[in-house]
Each structure stands twice: as structure tokens, then as C-alpha cells.
Amino acid sequence: MLLGLGLFGPVVAFVIAYMVVSVPDPTALAAQLNQPVTLYYADGSPMYTKGSASGHQLATWDQIPQSMKNAQMAAEDETFMTNSGFDLKAILRTVVNRLSGGTGGGSTIGQEYVKKATGNDQDTLSRKFLEMVESYKMTRTYSKQDILTAYLNTVYFGRSAYGIKAAARAYYGEDVSQLTNEQAAVLAGLVQLPGYGNSPTYQQQRYKYVIGRMLANHWISQTEFDAARFPAPIPETTTDGSGRPLAPARKYIVSAVFGELNRKGLSQQQLAKSGAKIYTTIQPPAQTDAEASVDKIMAADKQYPQEGAALVSVDPRTGGIIAYYGGDGSTAYDLAMTPQQPGSSFKPYVFAAALQHDPTTIGLDTVYNGSDNQTIDGQLVHNSDGEGAPQITVKDAMTKSVNTVFYQMGAQVGVDNVRQAAWAAGIPKQITSSLGSTYDSLQDDDPKTGKGNGTTELGISIGQYQVRPIDQAQGYATFANNGMYVPVHFVTKVTGNDGTQLYQFDTAAKPAFSSDPTTNATIARTVTESMTDVASSSRDGLTGGRPNASKTGTAQFKDSGHNSEAWMVGYTPQAVTSVWFGNKQQPAPIYGNYHNGIGSNHGYDVYGREEPGYIWQDFMNTYLAGKPAEPFPNVPTISDAPPTTTSPPPPTTTTPPTPTDTPTTDTPTPTESASRTRRSSSSPTPVPCVLGCPSTAPSRVGGG
């Protein structure tokens, strides 16, 4: 009886569902698709329109070549022409996987069409059951020819292309009737994950799979398979709000906006279906200023065409990105989303960790042994160009970018606390590159899994671990906002074509470094104060002596003596700007021709104070022109430290420099110093030696 009920129950449910469900109308569905999606600047002017206002165009069965029909079946449903709208074996396999906690698809083309038509894509067994019934009913209502035509006319291929007609134009500039076997294989493969439609790696991966299945099903011959070559799609064409081609540098903004919304649960497919209007934080004048500043400095370096720059500027009070430059358009990847070694521009997080965990010992005026070539925690640490002094305050060490001081500080505070402070400021715990790869930040990778192994080396203190320019803008924005973390973002709100609100940015600011408001503000304000002399010392100060806080950063290229990464990150109360400069293709030595305050103006090694510093200076001066010169908040700073320390400093050994002194790690070495000339304090003052100093330390705070 139980067995009979077990068999009879599903049959009854199937019959009842069959009587109740309706079959989606392909024509009605097509009318909803391919509505234009419009992006707007912060002032309401249109930035970009994606999709066609002319509506969705249907292809007839006769217009769709057999190559495309075969390719779609090979990609998704090889038994399409003979099944009943569902594949029972695949469904049972999916049920078992679901019950055991796994995943699995098992959908036929008919079921996929139903899912697209209804918009119901919940990952539940009940949805799969109704989908199966509707697909079966479709096979009883329409011919296989009609179902496959409907599917190919409504499925999403990426690039805002709904239906095979739009996809053939978007990817190959062809009429659908002209698609070859190879082109059809690419397009059919993209349906699985259309959001990766512009990824060359994904395109080739899916092409190989589909063309292989076409051969296995005898839809192409062995001769055709052997002669087949991957057909690279044409570049995606984009237009601005006026229908003109979008400026190459701004395509990265568009991609970043859609990426942000996808992480919020709004896919491009959903946006296109609703005719979304996306309102961004990008300010047109600021964006123009950013592009002009990069172009101005980079124009001097045309001799080095592989060099490039990235810039991200943020309003620290709102988290809104006001200007964004991910490159000149010559790369498929966005340089502002590409992880790079930050070098000394990571040192403010080390100081923030010290202020969190050792505020009674470490402050702005705490004195360290900043001598060059010290062995700290078993690692020989250099200062750039011999910068440093036997006695130097934390603020002077930040200004002169003395590596040995912050290496000692990191050892004293602990690397776990350093990375925790960086995470709290806004460096993501998981960083995703422009090409989609994700890794656990600020720690070593497990070579077997590629995931973070939880181990962080002391090199974090001088910028060993990679971060993105947008991450540095985020972290420094937290300092600029008095220790209050607000996620940096591109989008303020999204509405549908009918005015329905689909998304609104409403994340409240939260304290980053302490739950106590006063302590939190004091930590951030002290870190800010440590950086107030960097720009002027580096000759990158702002017009009229406008108050600012900034930090340069540079990473050395292997042991070549040349640099591969250079940074300038800094802010006023109104704007935070992160600038990266380096090789667009791969880590390599970087040289400049724009201006060098020390030595030759042609072919010099670029440090943070040069190309990135000049881009930062030019942009900030232009953007802030006419705006009031705001002082930083009147918040107490942690300045004085007692003459003793509660925890002993790490053992250090002063080692004379030799030609063979090189770091023991294989990672690029931060080499940058804010100023690369030797100089001493204009008013030498005796100070007590507190941390890591020799017992017979000189009584002068030296410069680097």
C-alpha cells in the first residue's frame, strides 16, 4: 500500500499541476525583453545606455541556421528532439544531489525556457517540479520547432543581447543566418553564464566544450572539427547617453557599476528586463579632471607604452566614488581593480594597529631606531637610499617612509593586529581582481588550494601583500572620515522603467577601530596627523598649503634596483584619492620623463613621489579649486609616549650595508621613501630614545 501511494501520489500531483499551469507565450515574453538600461551621472545627466530602444526582434525558424540549433542542443539538451520536455534521469540525479546537500541542474531547453519566461529561478524542488510540468505541457501544446525557436529568441547571451538575433550582432556583427558552426558554438556556450560573456577565457572554455559535443552527436564531421578554429568575438561597442561611442576610459566605470549591482543581487538580465535607470555617484567635472590629470602626466611617458595608471577618488563622508580611472581603454582588465603591492602606502594601517593595541607606548612622538640595514625578527630590512636615523619619531618616520621603524612596529604590535586594522579600515578580506579571480587578502596562499592559509608575514608592515587601488581609496577614506567606515560605492539608487525602486544605497557608517566614539576618532585623527607632512616633503603639496594627509608607496622589481609599483594615496576632508602607476601587462621596471626633483628628468626610476604623486597633486588641485580649505577635525591625537615600554622591542642588529645585502624573500621589496635626499632637522632637539634604539643613541632626530 505504501509503495502504491508513493507511486500514485506524484502522478496525481503531476496531473493536477498539468491542469493548472499555463504555457508561457514567446511573443509576450519577447515584448518584455531588451529594454534599454541607462546609467546617470551624479548630476542626473546620462552617462551610458545599454540595450536597444527599438525593442526585441524575433528570428523565425527558417532564419536560424542549423549550426545554431545544433550548437544550443549540444550545449544544454542533447536529447531535446526526443525527450518529453524533461529528462527523468537528470531530474532524479538532481533530487539525490539536493537531498545530500549537493547541487546539480538537470534542466532541458523546455525547462530553461519556462524559467526565463516566469522569472522564477528559486533553487527549490517545488520550482523544479512545476517547471517540469510546464515544460511537458509545452511539448503537448507546441512543436519542438516552436519551442526551440522561442528559446533562442528569448534566452540571454550577455552584452544586453536577448535572443539570437541580438547576440549575433553583439558578438560577431553578423545577421543570425550567417553564423558558422564555430560562432554558434561560442554563442550557445555563453548561455550558461552570460555575465562572463566578455571573458576570453570563458569564451574559449565553452567553445571547446560545445564544439566537442557537436562532434560527439554527429552534428559536425571529424573533418569540420579538425578544421575548426576559435572565432574571437568583436569588441563590445558602447555608447554614451547621446548615442556617441563611450570614451574608452569610462567603459571601466560601466563594468564596475554592473559588477557592484550584481553583488547586490541585480544581474544585467534583471536590469534589462526592468528597463533600469541607474543613478551613480560619478561627478562629471571630477571625472573629466581625473582623466585630464592622468593624460597630462602620462603624455610625457609615451616612450614607455606599457606603463599605465589608475585613479579612484571618493567622498569620504558618503563613500560615493566621485571619479574613477581604470586605464586608457587598452586593456580588457580594469587597473583600478587589479591587485598590486602597495609598498609604504600600507604603513598607516600598521600605525593604526599600534594605536589600537599599544596606545600607552606608541604615539606620534614615540622615538624609534630608524637606522638603515637592521636585522629585525631575522629579516634584514633596508631603508630607501639609506633614509633613517638612530633616533626618529613616528611622524618623521612616516614622512620619510623609514622601513625599519614600521617593521619594528609591526613586530611589536603583531601581524594579526596589523591585518585586522587594515580589514577594519575597509581592505576586503576577499579581494576580487578585474578578471574575476578571488583570493584571501593579507596572508599567504596555500599552494594546494589557492586559499589563504591564515599566515601573515612581517613584510605586511611595509606593503608585502597586494591590494587594489580602490581598496586603498576605501581604507584611507575611513581615516579621513574620522574612523567611520562607509563602503565606497558607485550606485546611489536603481529604479525600474515604471519608477519602482529596485535598489537604494543606505548603509550606515560604523566605527572601524573602536566601539568607543572618542577612541575611534582619536586613532583615525592620529593616523591622519602622521601623514600631514608627506606631500609637502615629497614636493607634491596642494595649492595654498591646503591641509592634506597622504602617503607614497613603492615596490622594487625583484633585486634589479628598479621599481615596479608606485603609489600616492592621500586626502583632504572633502576627497580621498588613490593613484597607482606601473606596467599594464606585468610587473616590470617603471621609468618616467615628467619631472624629477632629484637628478635627470629623463628615464628616471619612478617612485611614489613622482608620476603618481604628480597625478594626485594635479587632480586634487583641480578638483578642489574654489572649494574651502577645510582643516581636519579638532580631535585629540596620541602624541606623547612614556619613556618606558610595557613590552620589549624586537631584537635588532645594525648591519653595515654591503653590495650583497638583499631581502631573503622573493617578493618585490618596498623601496620608496617620501623624500630621497639626505637632510637633518632644521632645529635638532634632544629626545629620549624609547623603542629599538641603541644604548648610546645620538641626541639628534635625523632626517632621511
Short-list 422, 425, 423, CA closest to 512:
425
| 344 given a catalytic annotation | yes
Q: How many other CB atoms sit within 10 Å of the CB of residue 212?
A: 14
Distance of CA 273 to the CA centre of its chain: 26
Q: Where are the alpha helices (DSSP H) in 299-414?
A: 347-357, 394-400, 403-413
85-to-77, 78, 92, 116, 200 alpha-carbon distances in Å: 10, 12, 15, 15, 33
Given the residues 76, 291, 307, 611, the one annotated as active site: 76
327-to-348, 491, 578, 581 alpha-carbon distances in Å: 26, 20, 14, 10
DSSP class of residue 458 equals G
Query: What nine digits make up the cell of 130?
Result: 512545476
Query: What nine digits make up the cell of 318?
Result: 558618503
Q: How many other CB atoms sit within 10 Å of the CB of residue 440?
A: 17
| Edge-to-edge strand list for the sheet holding 563-571 | 321-325, 307-314, 576-583, 563-571, 549-556
Q: Which residues contact 56 (CB under 8 A, 6 or more apart)?
A: 30, 31, 33, 34, 153, 162, 163, 166
Q: Which residues contact 429 (CB under 8 A, 6 or more apart)?
A: 423, 440, 441
Q: What single-letter amino acid sits at 154?
A: T
Short-list 76, 645, 668, CA closest to 343:
668
Separation of alpha carbons 646 and 570, rounded Å:
33
Query: What nine digits make up the cell of 14?
Result: 503531476
Going by their DSSP bridges, the two strands 604-605 and 277-280 should be labelled as unpaired
The C-alpha torsion from 491 through 55 and 193 to 467, rounded to 10°, is -20
Query: What nine digits make up the cell of 511?
Result: 566605527
Helix 469-480 to helix 415-425 angle (10° resolution) is: 80
Reduced to 3 states (helix: H, G, I; strand: E, B; else coil), residue 580 is strand
Distance of CA 557 to the CA centre of its chain: 23
φ, ψ dihedrals at 439, nearest 5°: -145, 160
Longest Cα–Cα distance of the chain, Å, equals 99
Separation of alpha carbons 381 and 308, rounded Å:
29
Q: What single-letter amino acid sits at 138?
A: M
Short-list 606, 665, 557, CA closest to 340:
557
Given the residues 107, 255, 293, 344, the one annotated as active site: 344
Short-list 332, 255, 232, CA closest to 585:
332
φ, ψ dihedrals at 31, nearest 5°: -65, -25
Q: List, as own/partner pairs, every contact residues 167-170 make where C-beta atoms lie below 8 angstroms and the sequence separation is at least 24, other chains included.
A: 170/236
- φ/ψ region of 433 (left if φ > 0, alpha if ψ in -120 to 50, else beta) reads beta
Known catalytic residues are 76, 344
